[in-house]
Structure 1
């Protein structure tokens, strides 16, 4: 869905010849996010939207490519188009933002954070959405906070997540939050054109329109009183902490800090009461790393994480299908690298077996987190397990895998256990051995817990 906006007459259909089929960005090529930034800025934008860099699909009404490359680049009318995202909540969100843009409402840059982010509000002044252009991410070319200048596709603040690829991970977290279990707000990947977005001042700035189209993540704004860092964890409900923790484990979130958990009340009247406030998770750009990295879970040492999962939570975990989730991501976000999808599969299998064995959320999180002792970092228990499994399977030639990784973008220096260098046969063997090893490990853990319980209650076996 795409909307072009006339400030005086509301929505305006795109002009196109009758022979021009409607084209949407059904599959963005990685070159869009990794085009050369060594030349002039205007030349880089031109390369990003060349026809050869876009796989087109015939779909619902979208911005015609001929319009994008032609006269509309010089138009000052703001535009918005869904690149990736589906469902009624997404379409409703985009329409609300389009109406706000049509009414002349300007997006407001947010001062917090290391990347460029803009909040949209409606005519009544209520915040409705937050947009984060991919070229304004930390370290990216158009970063407005003075942290830019590097090429898209290079290692980012977290080396296992490349510059320009946090937006697709924001969308991935929403797609994986089945039934709104953890409460991730509706999120889409969109193409914006608006003069309010930041463009780096360069020698050729006069030739670069400030309304040049940008790819951005768009997320529904969530009204809240505080973030988790402004209240003690005793205020938060056990269910809310567990549900966010389950999501974080699945997607190996590298950046779950207190500032990206928003606090809302069950009842909007009255004061916050211990144990009843809910949390809404946002900012998932540093999830699904390309290799097993060191996650950060703010909730790890909260008391709620040491309370057993409820029957409802255990049922939800048992019904998770990592392979169906992988297909969702491959279909809906083809830009997401296969190595990241494999991290999702491994983490979900780990969660399912650990929860079935009776482990607590805190115990699962600790097994995934690296240890620091004497100023030195050591691999997590899960990394050690994966390393053991990986070395135990026969390895063949990885020429095809290396070729695929090279074609997807510049190679990153890996600081962890990578699963992307396994060919399909090796990957299947890895999963088989991994599942068997976990089963034996957690079965032994169950026996130890049972013996410990007997000692505590009976004083003997």
Structure 2
């Protein structure tokens, strides 16, 4: 059997692909995406046409720096004039580049993405030549309800309300990336994540597109695969370290995670002695952040809310980390790195981070903050969360109209900040901060009263 040498050419500006010989070449990378592309898909344009417009709208940069990684491929195996290819659309940093290089090598070696049967959307595992899983890709056109969904949940176009009404179809991938970018210092251990474009790779396509000579390019989130023996649902919370629960909770509060369930916290075990939680304490690795940063205040789901660790006070290190969070810098990071993420979602990040900072400084624990953000049920009705009520009061105080201000029910409510102009938004933040300080002062006073009564 005859072998030939191949190379994966790596552009420092995000291009990755296999070539039949070592060479210096200039690969395209894609910069700022015109938000009008999403508006086009909302107005009824086809997905394929929207994607075409999207990539035409990128500013194209070229690089003359192209180190090559040699590898060996069998003649005739996936070596055609149209080899599979992966390019970074959004994402940067050494861990992201290393991940994409590994996937590029796998593609050039003839390894195909493996469909993952679980979940409601299309997801694929990539392995290396040794058979070890290295990455998970989730194409945006295969999300739940998206027209190319492989699980029978398709039929709708990008830009329409998705499985979570406050998050549009086709936008979970950019939120996966946002969670990674916001996990400063890797506190919560979100795996390296990027938004990438696959060309000529073997992903699912509808029967209408299957007749095409070449697979349609796919935009997908790509995340480092996390090796694990369990997820949090397979072990009791007593096995998890306090720090790990707190770290994930801090991130979930900031990004208003609507879907933090036990299945998307993976268990990475290590042995340590901890008298409170047993002899083996597991660290948790959070994945699946597509349902975070909603366009309006929604009802988050925090699996950790009633775990004993969430009621333990923050450590000095955690309090210091929270105090140094800058929601306005984070907002600029997202505006620059992910221009497709709507301003209304970015403002939700700011509001939630302000709440976290003031609550932690006032001495509230993770569980108490999570309870403030979670809606309540009474007599079969869903009522606004404490946080939503505070925001309603603030919006009313700056004379903005909101359809939920006159009622106590939360059904169908959309407390959004996207309807505020810049002057109103600044006024909102000022009044919001003042009202939070008053709320936390009252909580302190009530806590002292209860403490006093308990001493009798």
Same-fold status (TM-score > 0.5): yes
Distance 2:382 2:163 in 1: 18
Judging changes above 3 Å, is the alpha-carbon distance between structure 1 residues 62 and 282 closer, same or farther for their aligned structure 2 residues?
A: farther
Query: What residue is the counterpart of 1:403 in the other structure?
Result: none
1:435 aligned to 433, 436, 440, which one? 433
Does residue 342 (structure 1) correspond to residue 347 (structure 2)? The answer is: yes
Query: What residue is the counterpart of 2:52 in the other structure?
Result: 49
Map 1:279-294 to 2 at 5 A. Answer: 279-294=284-299
Query: What residue is the counterpart of 2:270 in the other structure?
Result: 266
Equivalent pairs, count: 417
Judging changes above 3 Å, is the alpha-carbon distance between structure 1 residues 140 and 116 closer, same or farther for their aligned structure 2 residues?
A: same
Query: What residue is the counterpart of 1:370 in the other structure?
Result: 375
Query: What residue is the counterpart of 2:101 in the other structure?
Result: 95
- The farther-off stretch of 336-345 and 440-449 is 440-449
Judging changes above 3 Å, is the alpha-carbon distance between structure 1 residues 201 and 231 closer, same or farther for their aligned structure 2 residues?
A: same
CA apart distance, 1:13: 5.9
Query: What residue is the counterpart of 1:400 in the other structure?
Result: none
Distance 2:59 2:363 in 1: 48
Judging changes above 3 Å, is the alpha-carbon distance between structure 1 residues 51 and 285 closer, same or farther for their aligned structure 2 residues?
A: closer
Does residue 176 (structure 1) correspond to residue 182 (structure 2)? The answer is: yes
Query: What residue is the counterpart of 2:281 in the other structure?
Result: 276
CA apart distance, 1:47: 5.0
2:162 aligned to 135, 153, 156, which one? 156
Distance 1:342 1:40 in 2: 28
Distance 1:422 1:433 in 2: 14
1:238 aligned to 229, 239, 242, which one? 242
Judging changes above 3 Å, is the alpha-carbon distance between structure 1 residues 40 and 287 closer, same or farther for their aligned structure 2 residues?
A: closer
Distance 2:239 2:213 in 1: 49
Map 1:19-98 to 2 at 5 A. Answer: 23-33=28-38, 35-36=40-41, 44-50=47-53, 53-58=56-61, 60=63, 75-98=81-104
CA contact (8 A) 1:90 1:186 kept: yes
Distance 1:40 1:343 in 2: 28
**Unpaired stretches in structure 1, ≥5 consecutive residues:** 17-21, 64-73, 397-412
CA contact (8 A) 1:136 1:143 kept: yes
Distance 1:383 1:348 in 2: 14
Q: 2:219 is paired with a residue of what secondary structure?
A: strand
2:112 aligned to 106, 111, 128, which one? 106
Distance 1:364 1:438 in 2: 12
Distance 1:83 1:323 in 2: 24
- The farther-off stretch of 424-433 and 99-108 is 99-108
Q: 1:209 is paired with a residue of what secondary structure?
A: coil
Query: What residue is the counterpart of 1:219 in the other structure?
Result: 223
Judging changes above 3 Å, is the alpha-carbon distance between structure 1 residues 280 and 47 closer, same or farther for their aligned structure 2 residues?
A: closer
Judging changes above 3 Å, is the alpha-carbon distance between structure 1 residues 38 and 424 closer, same or farther for their aligned structure 2 residues?
A: closer
Query: What residue is the counterpart of 2:254 in the other structure?
Result: 250
Q: What are the Cα deviations for residues 407-442 of structure 1, in whole angstroms up to 9, with x where unaligned?
A: xxxxxx973211100000000000000000000110
Distance 1:448 1:51 in 2: 54
Query: What residue is the counterpart of 2:11 in the other structure?
Result: none
**Unpaired stretches in structure 2, ≥5 consecutive residues:** 1-13, 67-79, 402-410
Larger RCO: 1 or 2 (CA < 8 Å, sep 6+)? 1
Distance 2:412 2:423 in 1: 22
Q: What are the Cα deviations for residues 391-419 of structure 1, in whole angstroms up to 9, with x where unaligned?
A: 100449xxxxxxxxxxxxxxxx9732111
Cα RMSD after superposing both structures: 2.6
Distance 1:37 1:198 in 2: 23
1:5 aligned to 11, 18, 28, which one? 18
CA contact (8 A) 2:44 2:157 kept: no
Distance 1:348 1:35 in 2: 32
Judging changes above 3 Å, is the alpha-carbon distance between structure 1 residues 179 and 372 closer, same or farther for their aligned structure 2 residues?
A: same
CA contact (8 A) 2:258 2:291 kept: yes
CA apart distance, 1:28: 1.4
Q: 2:270 is paired with a residue of what secondary structure?
A: coil
CA contact (8 A) 1:249 1:348 kept: yes
Query: What residue is the counterpart of 1:426 in the other structure?
Result: 424
- Per the normalisation by structure 1, the TM-score is 0.85
Map 1:130-149 to 2 at 5 A. Answer: 130-149=136-155
CA contact (8 A) 2:271 2:279 kept: no
Distance 1:5 1:326 in 2: 36
Q: 1:175 is paired with a residue of what secondary structure?
A: helix
Does residue 191 (structure 1) correspond to residue 197 (structure 2)? The answer is: yes
Map 1:116-127 to 2 at 5 A. Answer: 116-127=122-133
CA contact (8 A) 1:169 1:286 kept: yes
Map 1:289-308 to 2 at 5 A. Answer: 289-308=294-313
